[in-house]
Amino acid sequence: METSVGVGLGEIAVSQNCEEILVAFGLGSCVGIGAYDPVKGIAGLLHAVLPEPLNGSDLSSTKYVGNGIYKLFEEMISKGAVKERLIIRIAGGANMLTSPGLSKTFDIGTRNIAMALKVLENQRMKIVSQNVGGNTGRTFRIYVADGKMTIRMIGEKETVF
Amino acid sequence: MTELRSIFTDEFVNLLTKISKEGIENASKGFAGMLGKELTVKSSSAKLVKLLDIPKMLGGPEDETVAIYLKTEGGIAGQMMLVMPCEKAFGLVDMIMGEPIGTTTVLGKMEKSALQELGNITGTYFLNYVSDNTGRSVRPTPPAVMVDMCAAILDIVIATAGIENEEVLMFDAEFVQGDLCTEIQFWVIPDPQTILAYGAK
């Protein structure tokens, strides 16, 4: 029987249990980074909130995209995953506010995506697919059994991406 | 970085509680006036909230939710939001437009405009009280109406306040309207730097 494992704000989940589904519910400006090692059947999901810390912030927090990606890979590798084999998909980074005068102020979604792309490029990790941007929230799921990654938007069906 | 918690003396907490309680009472008058209905304010409070706990304060993360969101600018920067389940927003629109409850089933341009006006009036009534009692000039931005998953909407508050802080001060209350039989959350989250500057005096 499949069990959903919620991945909250700033959290990472790594699983090798093929009955589990890792889920980041309702990503708005947050960005989800999913990774899967098809040989070992290890899946990982990061729910990052902000692109980078400011001076004096907790640098070790996984709520930041850069540190979060580093920790995600570290945790997956510690369980036996091989970095070069990881299939990576990202979703989220919406601009939730479309009102004139507000949307520019809150461009955190775009900055989260840019940071994720930059960090993954620096780590020489290829992104297989992405479902990012726009003005709509998404729920991001990874099925540990086969590494399938899906998104669902409000009023829509779950789709593989 | 100065933690918000460090400036929370009993005296300061009492002041914040007074501002939140009376400011929210004033906001409820604006809200009720717009609806033309009686309104009760329930569980008004001022509290420190861990940012990452904010999503747990509302219903399911994928629940279809409507939020009316404003920022405040001037002497007191911050965020204000009215949050409610989608069907309750339909009811509010019906009341504003003088239609029987159940008439509105989608939020089109006109319906969103009605909700924006509700947010505008509620926020302005709150800010008027705060401005009168702190001597600081403060004004709201034009409101934005969002319809989306609850968690996605809350990302805005969390990302905006969380750039520099792990905790935020939140004034919150429930507006209970008899015909709707529901609670509508009213949140005010002053910018932490504003509170730190205010508390230091």
- Category of B98 on φ-ψ map: left (φ > 0), alpha (ψ -120 to 50) or beta: left
Q: Is the ipTM of this complex over 0.85?
A: yes
**The pLDDT of residue B1 is above 70:** no
Residue numbers of chain A with a pLDDT score lower than 70: 55-58, 99-106
| CATH number of the CATH domain containing B97 | 3.40.1550.10
Of B69, B142, B149, Cβ closest to residue A154: B149
Question: Would you say A45 and A142 are in contact if contact means Cβ atoms under 8 Å apart?
Answer: yes
- Chain A hits for B52, CB-CB cut-off 8 Å, are 8-10, 63
Per-residue pLDDT, A89: 98
Who's near A11: CB < 8 A, 6+ residues apart?
A46, A47, A62
- Chain B hits for A56, CB-CB cut-off 8 Å, are 1, 164
Q: What is the pLDDT of residues B149-170, one digit of tens each?
A: 999 998 888 887 766 667 777 8
CATH of domain A3-160: 3.30.1330.200
Q: Rounded CA gap, A91 and B183, in Å?
A: 33
Quickly list DSSP for A18-44: TTEEEEEEEESSSEEEEEEETTTTEEE
Q: B4, B1, B51, B47: which is closest to B166 by C-alpha?
A: B51
Could you tell me whether strands A138-143 and A127-132 are parallel, antiparallel, or unpaired per DSSP bridges? Answer: unpaired
**Token pair recorded at residue B90:** 């339909």
Higher local confidence (pLDDT), A123 or B51: A123
A17-29 residues labelled b (16+ CB within 10 A) or e (exposed): eeebbbbbbbbbb
B54 pLDDT band, cuts 50/70/90, is confident
- Nearest C-alpha in A relative to B149: A26
Per-residue pLDDT, A124: 94
Of A9, A25, A96, Cβ closest to residue B153: A96
Question: Would you say B153 and A96 are in contact if contact means Cβ atoms under 8 Å apart?
Answer: yes
Per-residue pLDDT, B133: 82
Q: A69, A73, A80: which is closest to A16 by C-alpha?
A: A80
Mean of pLDDT values over B112-123: 90
Mean of pLDDT values over B97-110: 91
**The pLDDT of residue B177 is above 80:** no
Per-residue pLDDT, A106: 61
Per-residue pLDDT, A160: 97
Is A30 designated active site?
yes
Of B143, B148, B166, Cβ closest to residue A137: B148
The residues spanned by each domain of chain A are 3-160
Residue B62 to residue A25, Cβ atoms within 8 A = yes
The dihedral sign for the CA sequence B164, A51, A8, B54: positive
Q: Find the domain containing B165 and state its range.
A: 4-199
Question: What total number of domains does chain B contain?
Answer: 1
- Chain B hits for A57, CB-CB cut-off 8 Å, are 1, 164
Residue A9 to residue B52, Cβ atoms within 8 A = yes
Percentage of chain B modeled with pLDDT above 70: 88
The dihedral sign for the CA sequence B85, B87, B91, B96: positive
**Token pair recorded at residue A67:** 């540190």
pTM: 0.87
Tell me how many residue pairs between chain A and chain B have CB atoms under 8 A apart: 107
Q: B170, B154, B150, B186: which is closest to B52 by C-alpha?
A: B154
Mutation pick from B65, B72, B148 vs chain A, by most beta carbons of A within 10 Å, is B148
At A131, which helix (H) or strand (E)? strand A127-132
